[in-house]
Structure 1
Amino acid sequence: MNKNIKLAVAGAVLALSSHASNAGIIIPAGEWTLDVNGNVNAFANWTKTDHAASITGGIAAGKDSQNEDQTQGINTGLLPSWLGFTGTTRQNDTDVSFTISMQPNVSDNGAAGDTATPLFRQSYLTFGDKSWGSVKLGKDIGIFASDAILNDMTLLGVGAGALNSGGATTLGGIGTGYVYAAWKGQVAYTTPNFNGFQATVGITNPNQGLTSTGVASASSLLFQDRFGIEGKASYSFAADNFSGKIWVGGASMKVKTADNNAGVPSGTAYEYSATAADIGANVNAGNVGLTGYYYSGEGLGTTTFLSQGYKTGSGKRDSDGGYVQLTYKLPTATKFGLAFGRSNLDLASGESSASNTLVDSNERITAGLYHPLTKHLNLVAEWNQVETKAHGGLKNENTTGSLGAILFF
């Protein structure tokens, strides 16, 4: 695959890598080497819902308007289908590369099956040298919380959010254990690898066009005071049959919001700083793998950056969460995985919990089987149970069974 994403079949996860150990389709082109890479995946999903509550920020959905509690869909999983192009060369003692990718997903609920627009999640260049590090400019996965999603076993499967075939992807563990790192314009610097230690720090596009609930709106566009700041540091180790990685990260954003709630003048701006920190570890010993992750934030929100992180007139909401994940490789080479994740969102000062429909927690349990049928093709079976609770006591539950496959090239 490309120099950004490689398949780690033994761990049933994907991991970012500055140098690929598994290449895609390599094409020499003069001074350049072109790597064509990606994946195709699809899953049949069967979901049963319980309750019919309307919960703001909830992951688990209720019954539909006709009180139906079961649905099916053929969806792209958490990882979008992918077609990427990476070019690399070395000039003037400098490693230079570019990456452009698109994501033509399976998920599409249009009558003719052709209404979903492909995503374009990567477009960036890098330059550097192993002696002093590298610089990245362009659009790529965010720095903060990226290791949380890239170590999630449901990246090879479905996780939460498989109720219909209309979404671009499912949610995996997004919103039930970590906040989505998203794909962001950025300028980032990564240090050389110092015997396993490496760090990245960068500025990202400010989150513009947000209301105070974290919803984008053309009428709420406001100038932002500064760039977002994100960073992470990690230490990787390996010895005999034991390996692992420990990481920490942080993010800071200064945000102005506009809100047109009742009693609030149109265009009134509210300014605040959102901060977040996380810590995680992945260790592998023989056939056993264990991952643990925790995050905490003020004004960060839940599921996606800044979503429900602020309440007009009350201020910032605190949030936290994490997940634990255990995997075991069977003699058949099939990877069995069991995971539990939860994301919590607190009320702001002065908010009342009585009859409050704001999400209190999103919780997920996943059991999965990931079987490498060939070097590049993995068969996947998952069972996911997701529960959403509101501060006022409302609740929804979804149970989903999924069968499918993911092919890497």
Structure 2
Amino acid sequence: MTKRFKVSLITATLAMAAFNSSAAVEIYENDGMSFSADGLVNVFYVNSSVEATDASGNVSDRDQSRVRMGFLPNNIGFNFSNQLSDLKIGMRSSFWVSINDTDQSRDATPGDLGTGSLIDVRQFYGTVSGDWGEVLLGKDFGLFNRANILGDELLLGYGQTSDFFGLVDGGNVSFGNISTGYTYPFPKSQITYRSPDMNGFKLAVGIMDPNKTGSDSSEDLPRFEAELMYTTTIDETSIKAWVSGVSQSSEANGVEQDQSGIGYGANVKFGGLSLTASGFSSEGLGHVAGLDNIVGDDAIESDGYLVQASYTMEDNRFVVTYGETEVKNTGSVLDATHTNTGVAYFRTIRPGLTLVLEYNNTEADVSDSLMAEDNNTFAIGSVITF
């Protein structure tokens, strides 16, 4: 593994249809057929102050100001549905665009002229639904840790920008709490069934295109992912709890390796207070996007958790957050710990326009390189949605 990770497309995250569709603009609706569009644009002024210690004990400092988008990429989505007797068919496509490319060309070399806005399709799927549930066919975000990231109070904010991952000057989004509490549910080709509501329980199970360990690796079975969600309301208190999982097996050069993981969490809301705790544990999967399948004795083991509290008072929301991920490579001396501590303030100026003030302290400690980082990031920006 390299001492310094450069992650770009992995982080072209997430508004996910679950957020944007709530603000969708109806373009056409007639006789059971509808077409709508939704979009999000966000921009932040960001100042990062980084102190890093290398393997020789040398300490370096750097301050960097940027104008960038936050945890969610700018995106636009289109939705279609049509009621056909007892069946409903639907489609969604969403296109994701980076504005963090001012000083980078398409080869992502800092200082080059030109831009490369990383136009990417994260969702392109159809659905068939009825009283029996729904089947999704196409490309969408994975199920493992999906609820963890959708429940992050910093979803509309900025989050961690560890220089260890090349995020301060990276050409894509910040990380939210990816690698400091959860992994990213990378979009995958899939066939997924979602059950109807069963006394508060909803189940999703899917077969997905496996993550290849190499061009010559063999995967006899697809990747399996699942999520079980429970929601209920007691008096004026709403409760949500979930568990998700992933399993895959690969073989390369005669060596087999199983990859597996479990994610979990709960959220309780009463009055204006929201309390969230979530976590995950995985083996053989990367701690950033869950794609780095390792075959052989160098299997990666990762464990993380995220605890958050927010309070909403009319148009104001206040957030405190702490997340941590520990990584261990069982075949080497690599051990790493990544943490993020943050506070944020969200102000709804008008429906569809939100002001964000945020501070994060991100720390990384990697044993094999004796590398350590302390990163303080201040961000102020706005989010526009329709």
TM-score interval (norm. to shorter): 0.7 to 0.9
Distance 2:115 2:171 in 1: 13
Distance 2:304 2:128 in 1: 35
Residue 299 (str. 1) matches residue 276 (str. 2): no
Residue 43 (str. 1) matches residue 44 (str. 2): yes
Distance 1:199 1:335 in 2: 31
Distance 1:92 1:326 in 2: 44
1:373-400 CA deviation, whole Å, 9 max, x = no partner? 1111111111011111112443111110
Residue 408 (str. 1) matches residue 381 (str. 2): no
Contact residue 257 and residue 295 of structure 2 kept, 8 A? no
Contact residue 46 and residue 70 of structure 1 kept, 8 A? yes
The one-letter code matched in structure 1 to 2:33 is: W
- The 5 Å alignment of 1:9-408 reads 22-28=23-29, 32-53=33-54, 69-108=62-101, 109-110=103-104, 112=113, 114-129=115-130, 131-161=131-161, 163-208=167-212, 210=213, 220-257=215-252, 268=253, 270-307=255-292, 310=294, 312=296, 314-330=297-313, 333-348=315-330, 351=332, 353=333, 358-392=334-368, 393-408=370-385
The one-letter code matched in structure 2 to 1:310 is: I
Is the alpha carbon distance of 1:36 and 1:306 closer, same or farther for their aligned partners in structure 2, counting shifts above 3 Å?
closer
The secondary structure found in structure 1 opposite 2:350 is coil
Give the match for residue 15 of structure 1: none
The one-letter code matched in structure 1 to 2:159 is: G
The secondary structure found in structure 2 opposite 1:248 is strand
The secondary structure found in structure 2 opposite 1:338 is strand
The secondary structure found in structure 2 opposite 1:171 is coil
Structure 1 residue 272: Cα displacement = 0.5
Contact residue 3 and residue 86 of structure 1 kept, 8 A? no
Structure 1 residue 116: Cα displacement = 2.4
Distance 1:305 1:270 in 2: 20
Is the alpha carbon distance of 1:26 and 1:245 closer, same or farther for their aligned partners in structure 2, counting shifts above 3 Å?
farther
Distance 1:3 1:180 in 2: 12
Question: C-alpha root-mean-square deviation of aligned residues, in Å?
Answer: 2.3
Distance 2:276 2:121 in 1: 30
Give the match for residue 5 of structure 1: 18
The one-letter code matched in structure 2 to 1:286 is: G
1:24-78 CA deviation, whole Å, 9 max, x = no partner? 2432377631111121111111101111437xxxxxxx98xxx551112122211
- Using structure 1 for the length normalisation, give the TM-score: 0.81
Is the alpha carbon distance of 1:384 and 1:221 closer, same or farther for their aligned partners in structure 2, counting shifts above 3 Å?
farther
Give the match for residue 13 of structure 1: none
The percent of aligned pairs where both chains have the same amino acid is 28
Give the match for residue 109 of structure 2: none
Question: Which aligned segments of 4 or more residues in structure 1 are displaced greater than 6 angstroms?
Answer: none
Distance 2:231 2:31 in 1: 35
Unaligned runs of 5+ in 2: 1-14, 105-111
The secondary structure found in structure 1 opposite 2:154 is helix
Is the alpha carbon distance of 1:52 and 1:25 closer, same or farther for their aligned partners in structure 2, counting shifts above 3 Å?
farther
The one-letter code matched in structure 1 to 2:206 is: G
The one-letter code matched in structure 1 to 2:322 is: F
Structure 1 residue 165: Cα displacement = 4.9
Is the alpha carbon distance of 1:228 and 1:3 closer, same or farther for their aligned partners in structure 2, counting shifts above 3 Å?
closer
Contact residue 302 and residue 345 of structure 1 kept, 8 A? yes
Contact residue 75 and residue 164 of structure 1 kept, 8 A? no
